[in-house]
Chain A
């Protein structure tokens, strides 16, 4: 079981964005915009996720001539499982924090 406390809030945000469309490859800049994280925060997170085999990456040749290839990212199967666990834990804790009267 993945301990939620082992992931920072920012990492959870990155995992959430990647889990939203788990098959889609994403660029670093797109992740930065979707999570609201700056590159200085995002890249260490991506490095750690990759070190832990939760993230896979590939290079994509740029369609524009003169521009270098771009690195793209998506979750591995282990990454998806970890992200789903964290998402489940989050929704459970949010549910517990809600006042009883607000539950449908």
Chain B
């Protein structure tokens, strides 16, 4: 390569060097492979795109290794899922004594259970994803459960006036926002697993 490098190429060279450093040590061969391939790219635009892609893949690889290696991360994820889904599960289970004593009409109970369904569903999917290492890859199932994750938020907003919302922000957080956030994180984990190779 002769002559001065263009600005694009120099930026790309900086990015690829950073990407190579960010890869875990056991991927050092791949770090060298990416960096060396960069030197053979025909034009500056390809080089910049190549280096940006390598940067993404090196961070992704680093995060993957961290998640696999850290014994704490599984526990923290588990705790997160419990915090997100157990309150809603308990909220749904409160229907049972209400039905038994006749203090809640069946139609109301069914709506109540529908809204609270995200609690036990989230716990089941979290167990499959984190403990059994079998993340859900079906887009249909993920979309359906996204719908259930949004139901509490919609139900809460339809029941509350704007004035009352300020007083019940704790319930909103615990019973609507947390399940939705927990579900979003599970979808992210499932998609990450699905986009790479999954273990047979």
Q: Contact residues of A with B, CB < 8 Å? A: 2-3, 5-8, 10-11, 27-29, 32, 38-49, 52, 57, 62, 66-71
- The 8 A-B residue pairs whose C-beta atoms are closest, nearest first, are A40-B53, A39-B53, A71-B33, A40-B56, A48-B197, A68-B36, A38-B53, A6-B200
Please indicate the chain B residues that have their CB under 8 angstroms from the CB of A49 in the complex.
197
User: A52: nearest residue on chain B (CB-CB)?
Assistant: B197
Q: What count of chain B residues pass the 8 Å CB interface test?
A: 33
Partner of A3, one of B1, B194, B200: B200
Which of A6, A8, A62 has the most chain B CB atoms inside 10 A of its CB?
Answer: A8
A43 and B195 contacting across the interface, CB-CB below 8 Å:
no
Question: A2, A27, A38, A52 — which one has the most chain B CB atoms within 10 A of its CB?
Answer: A38
If A41-B53, A47-B27 touch, whether A2 touches B200 (CB-CB below 8 Å) is: yes
Say yes or no: A29 contacts B199, CB within 8 Å.
no
Residues 72-96 of B at the A interface (beta carbon under 8 Å): none
- State the Cβ distance, A4 to closest chain B Cβ, in Å: 10
Contacts of A47 in B (CB 8 A): 27, 30, 61
